Structure 1
């Protein structure tokens, strides 16, 4: 397989999985077993493509919030986004510097997929018992921030899955409202995390020797695919549960544990 085709497939996979509650890290790790391992720089760049995609999807909502700060509801919502981001940064940075993170190998990722799928099934059922609540509270904002930190420590958990279902359990039981809040928080969170990692790599000189054509192809693929997937997901969850994604996670995790034990 050519390097450009491999890069294209990895970019598409990143766009498909970054914002679905199925773990992009886990899928890229699995894919690179067959398509070849890529540099950290490559992985950061394609993640940036996915972040650009979600920024484009929510451009009108972001503009509405930015230009509507005179309204108390908008100010409160933006403040809660800020709190969730700050919690992630304040708690997550020391965790990262301390090196508290499981290795990105098949076995821990597979277990994270299985346990995360079970968590999703239980959390959604519990949230539905509370009725259809769209309000995002300060408690939800804090717990979403903490959920993002947990997802960073356990590869395969999925940042979106951990945060969305924490929001639903903490009080924002409406799937669309919880998902929108988590995706909006994800924009500054992922931009900051990617920028931090990017600067680290530049400092270490790790960007040298990259195939820039492959990087550009993967970035473009991740952006276009991510845009389409997020648009689809926002429509899908208005009438459907996340159950299918949870079952998919469990099945995939079990298959990985059975077919790739000890890896």
Structure 2
């Protein structure tokens, strides 16, 4: 009976973590920051089937694959067009200038994240894994969004130079609480893109990064043993992350056609204040981070 209860709790935890990942990976509110807060304040992923060694690694890999699939399905036309452009370019065929610029922007924009990710990812995660610092980075992200909205001209088209610039903004996502989508959308706005175009480029730019991160985790997972019953929790997490992520992408793309980032600025500031207040009232929370 206890085994069944623990398994049910693990599946529920997996569903909740999948929902958090699906929402926060794509909305500009930070998936890593929310997962840290979920672990510290609610114990999600802190122990049991989801949260120790191989189980953590397996769950991370599954969530990454779910988010990759969500982007791949929503933007499949763009990805197919980019693949054709790349193939045509390799065999010497003439390609459309717009598609060539977009492909070049994605390739060059991915390079900074790869370099800084390999050098700093573990260091950043170890430093910024406590809720107090997450509250600071949530507020810092809100400030970045505010600046982006203030200077946005929404007139420019994507170029390879702008792709590199947005790629540098993507490196901010190494800091838990900053948000990859939020940083790149803000970067796009600062460099003159329309909101919807900035969001579209943000997702396409993140696609190869998420594929690489997911592949790395799957390779690491190949040498580990999973606990009995883990498959059910993995399936639950994958399913919830995929469907919620797909809905989050759809919502954000529609929302940014007519609205600013202000709602996300407000959300991040409110959450930062709440987390900061909780930590100040109970400093022992920092010891559990």
Q: Corresponding residue for 2:91?
A: none
Q: Corresponding residue for 1:194?
A: 214
Cα shift at 1:123: 1.4
Cα shift at 1:35: 4.7
Q: Distance in 2 between matches of 1:57 and 1:151?
A: 22
Q: Distance in 1 between matches of 2:105 and 2:172?
A: 19
Instruction: List gaps (5 residues or longer) in structure 1.
Output: none
Contact 2:101 2:160 in 1 (8 A): no
Q: Distance in 1 between matches of 2:159 and 2:96?
A: 17
Correspondence 1:77 to 2:102:
yes
RMSD, aligned CA: 1.9
Cα shift at 1:202: 4.0
Which piece of structure 1 moves more, 67-76 or 4-13? 67-76
Correspondence 1:91 to 2:116:
yes
Q: Corresponding residue for 1:63?
A: 80
User: Which of 227, 233, 247 is 2:246 aligned to?
Assistant: 227
Post-superposition CA distance 1:119-146 (Å, at most 9, x none):
211211111xx3x324012232112222
Q: Corresponding residue for 1:24?
A: 31
Cα shift at 1:260: 2.2
Q: TM-score, normalised by structure 2?
A: 0.82
Q: Corresponding residue for 1:133?
A: 155
CA spacing shift, 1:201–1:55, aligned 2, 3 Å: same
Correspondence 1:167 to 2:167:
no
Cα shift at 1:189: 0.8
Contact 1:167 1:178 in 2 (8 A): yes
Contact 1:7 1:214 in 2 (8 A): yes
Contact 1:137 1:171 in 2 (8 A): no
Greater gyration radius: 2
Post-superposition CA distance 1:5-49 (Å, at most 9, x none):
221111111111111000111112222332532324313321321
Q: Distance in 1 between matches of 2:61 and 2:275?
A: 25
CA spacing shift, 1:229–1:145, aligned 2, 3 Å: same
Instruction: List gaps (5 residues or longer) in structure 2.
Output: 1-7, 46-50, 89-94
